[in-house]
Structure 1
Amino acid sequence: MSSIDIHHPHSLPMPKARKAVEEVAQKLAERFGVDYSWDEDTLNFMRSGVDGKIALLPKQLHVSAELGFLLSALKGPIESEIRRVLDERFK
């Protein structure tokens, strides 16, 4: 198993940050069949081969995920794509 652990700063008010995280989750669900649910200010997501969460904090997002065996080989591209989306949504 391989892990992803990203801390990303943001300056959005919490309601706008939550909306942006929700939009990202909806796209992941549409594109990759990811299931997700909120637990207070943490979005949990899962599908075969990945289990993770996005913790929404006042000035930072914390993305963590455990990748299964097959997705471990794609850790670099997956992590790069997460960082790209975070840079795009949370300037």
Structure 2
Amino acid sequence: MPSIDILHEHSLPHAKARKAVQEVADKLSERFGIQYDWAGDTLNFSRAGVDGKIALAGTNLRVTADLGFLMSAFKGPIESEIRRVLDERFS
């Protein structure tokens, strides 16, 4: 499966970074039916064709996702949108 792996540095305090990740997850759930849950400081998410996680660690976060066959055709646009949202929320 094609994968997305993005490491993004930020300067937010941990609580604000976690809140920002939660807000992103809420929007994804509302717009695309993505299911998610927290395991410590890692938000795991999934829906048909996508399984991934957002892991908070100090001054960075890592977004990883495995894309199914149909979603792999959209890897470029998906990755671009993730980077845009990270820049917007964590800059």
User: What TM-score does the superposition give when structure 1 sets the normalisation length?
Assistant: 0.99
* Percent identity for Structure 1 against Structure 2: 73
1:28 Cα deviation (Å)? 0.3
Q: Which residue of 2 aligns with 1:60?
A: 60
Unaligned runs of 5+ in 2: none
Paired amino acid for 1:42: T
1:26 counterpart residue number: 26
The offset of 1:38, in angstroms, is 0.2
Question: Which ranges of structure 1 fall in alignment gaps of 5 or more residues?
Answer: none
Aligned CA RMSD, in angstroms, stands at: 0.3
SS of residue matched to 1:84: helix
Q: Determine the C-alpha separation between the residues in 2 that align with 1:67 and 1:17.
A: 25
Residue pairs, 1:1-91, within 5 angstroms: 1-91=1-91
Q: What are the Cα deviations for residues 47-73 of structure 1, in whole angstroms up to 9, with x where unaligned? A: 000000000111001000000000000
Runs of 4+ in 1 over 3 A off after TM superposition: none
User: How high is the TM-score relative to the length of structure 2?
Assistant: 0.99
